[in-house]
Chain A
Amino acid sequence: MTPLLDLQRRMASAVMQPLAQSDQMRRRNPQRRSNAKEAAEFIKPNSRLTSFERLEIYNRQYWFRILDSFAEDFPGLRAVVGRKRFDRIARAYLTECPSQSFTLRNLGQFLPQWLADHNDLAGDRYSLAADMLKLEWAHIEAFDAADLPRLTPEALMTLGEDPQLLLQPHISLHELHYAVDDLLLAVRKHDEEQEETGAARAFPIRRWLKNSPEPIYLAVHRADYSVCYRRLERESYLLLTTLRERKPLSEALETAFAQSPLSEEDQAMHIQEWFAAWMALGWFAVPFRSHGENE
């Protein structure tokens, strides 16, 4: 190992270690070594600050930055589990899963799986928290995902009798047990009001804790550069999820209506309505081969 790499590993390890409860740098690192001794080995003191105090500036800056970014990305999770648990989750997650991307946008990319592995941290609200996380991560992804050239009705006609339709990359499809779409909108409104008035009242979560009697099918997508949530019927959800797997339209329709109580006449009517809405929203993209790229 070169001296430069050695120093960078030592410093990164020190900078990224969790803060003490007082938000100061811990006296000892996770290996129980004195951080003051560690800092003194590679950082010079000056007339006002010890080596430890100079290192601590970076340690605190690191945590304040990533905790702010995490809180900005997951206001819904914070409302669900409460501020104390949220802070505990944030610090534990970011300690185990530090950023692996050049952009802070991806800070929460492992959070849904991580929380599933540490569900005790969400207490008895884990199921609601898991649904909320699905939605919040889908929102982040939808915000800046690609918007491919839209499939026009004319182009659709050229794809043959049983086409494989391509969904826009910004669309994600979710089966949920809680009305987290409505909940997240309520949380955002609450947070905006709190910010405007300078108050710091916690979000009243109690009435949202009850799960939905029926599954909720939701598409998270982008329209006019805004991220939107659109409820789907079970059949349309199955149809879209099967199309997303690049299965032919006939197979997607078969899957969608396999256990549907709808009559054939109603099915036909729904299919027509759904496709009219989805085409208007631009949910289907021109298949790759049509705009000169490889699949």
Chain B
Amino acid sequence: MPANRFNGFTEYGVGIGLRIPHYRHILEQKPVVDWFEIISENYMIDGGRPLAILDQILEQYRVVQHGVSMYFGSAQPLNPEHLKRLKTLVKRTNTPWLTDHLCWGSVDGRYTHDLLPIPYTWEAVDTTAEKIRQVRDFVEVPIAVENVSSYAEFHDSVMTEWEFLNEVVERADCGILLDVNNIYVSSVNHDFDPHVYVDSVPAERVAQIHIAGHSRYEKYVLDTHDHPVIDPVWALYEHAIERIGPTATLLEWDDKIPSFEEVHREALKANKYLDKVRLAQTPQRPAGELTEVRA
């Protein structure tokens, strides 16, 4: 797995999201899992069962924090209470890197609890990059930003989503959590070629990859995280890791959550593609070359 400064120079394999219905199975059966991703906000609390469970998980597994409401793209300042609680959690988990979305979701102190798309403007590039830097400087861990699924495009936008992503991460000097399912969903909703998106991303900045399932409606695709990953998304994933290299990969399954085994089995399908890329990257010895034998 390519270790880089945006994932704390780690080489994590294939992980899954830590979800409540699986707590008991994980703690009792102790399955072998490369790593778990937690939703930061679920543990930014003062006490109780969620933190006790998290501490037990941390004793045995590697954990990476993933946030859903930092809202880097919001036009207004960051929430200091949110930042303070996030830093407390970072100290608890020792997450090697921290991720959240390239989106906005609150204004004037009111929260939508959604991942709303940002207009791709230069003002938004500056605002978003500045916020990412502020968070990174405060929590003192590398940050990777995730591209979101979207259902709307703005008249104000002056660049493509991938151009916007590239501008933001360059200016913020941060990593990318490349969600290939989100790229697929948005490509259907906005009629672009998802391969162009993947090919435009600076490979050296990709810290992690997300895969997930979604729901297709008559006129659009919704990012629901309630199904297995579909073949076109696996194909896009394969294309991404061929270009980027084998990267820490995580399956998101947040609704209609099946058994732990089913979720884990679905995630481990990623190894088929990762192994293929690893093999292709292994230097091949010319036929007939002899191995030196030392006595």
With A100-B110, A102-B82 given, is the CB distance from A43 to B46 under 8 Å? Answer: no
Residues of B within 8 A of A41 (CB): 155
Q: B48–A145 contact, CB under 8 A?
A: yes
Q: Mark A194-226, 1 if CB is under 8 A from B, else 0.
A: 000000000000000000000000000010011
Q: A48–B69 contact, CB under 8 A?
A: no
Q: Mark B113-127, 1 if CB is under 8 A from A, else 0.
A: 110100101011001
Q: A169–B191 contact, CB under 8 A?
A: no
Residues of A within 8 A of B75 (CB): 2, 4-5, 8
Q: B154–A12 contact, CB under 8 A?
A: no
Query: Residue B151 at the A interface, CB < 8 A?
Result: yes
How many Cβ-Cβ contacts under 8 Å join chain A to chain B?
127
Residues of A within 8 A of B219 (CB): 48-49, 53
Complex interface residues of chain A between 27 and 59 (CB less than 8 A to chain B): 41-44, 46-49, 51, 53-55, 57-58
Q: Contact size class for A?
A: 35 or more
Residues of B within 8 A of A143 (CB): 48-49
A69–B111 Cα distance when bound, in Å, is 14
Q: A15–B116 contact, CB under 8 A?
A: yes
Residues of B within 8 A of A147 (CB): 47-48
Interface stretch, picked from A60-68, A114-122, A127-135, is A60-68
Query: Residue A9 at the B interface, CB < 8 A?
Result: yes
A234–B143 Cα distance when bound, in Å, is 54
Interface stretch, picked from B101-109, B173-181, B258-266, is B101-109
Query: Residue A21 at the B interface, CB < 8 A?
Result: no
Query: Residue A92 at the B interface, CB < 8 A?
Result: no
Q: Interface centre among A11, A169, A226, by most B CB within 10 Å?
A: A11
Task: With CB as the reference atom, state the residue of chain A lying closest to B188.
Answer: A48
Task: With CB as the reference atom, state the residue of chain B lying closest to A8.
Answer: B107
Residues of A within 8 A of B189 (CB): 46
Q: A144–B47 contact, CB under 8 A?
A: yes
Q: B112–A62 contact, CB under 8 A?
A: yes
Query: Residue A16 at the B interface, CB < 8 A?
Result: yes
Q: B155–A43 contact, CB under 8 A?
A: yes
What does DSSP make chain A's interface, helix, strand, loop or mixed?
A: helix
Q: Mark A94-111, 1 if CB is under 8 A from B, else 0.
A: 000011111111000000
Query: Residue A153 at the B interface, CB < 8 A?
Result: no
Query: Residue A244 at the B interface, CB < 8 A?
Result: no
Q: B41–A225 contact, CB under 8 A?
A: no
Q: B113–A146 contact, CB under 8 A?
A: no
Residues of B within 8 A of A271 (CB): none
Shortest Cβ distance from B76 into chain A, in angstroms? 7
Residues of B within 8 A of A146 (CB): 46-47
Q: B107–A57 contact, CB under 8 A?
A: no
Q: B156–A58 contact, CB under 8 A?
A: no
With A48-B220, A58-B151, A144-B50 given, is the CB distance from A15 to B111 under 8 Å? Answer: no
Query: Residue B45 at the A interface, CB < 8 A?
Result: yes
Complex interface residues of chain A between 162 and 197 (CB less than 8 A to chain B): 169-170
Task: With CB as the reference atom, state the residue of chain B lying closest to A10.
Answer: B107
Query: Residue A3 at the B interface, CB < 8 A?
Result: yes
Q: A8–B151 contact, CB under 8 A?
A: no
Q: Could you name 5 residue pairs across A and B whose Cβ atoms are closer than 8 Å?
A: A43-B154, A58-B152, A69-B113, A99-B111, A99-B113
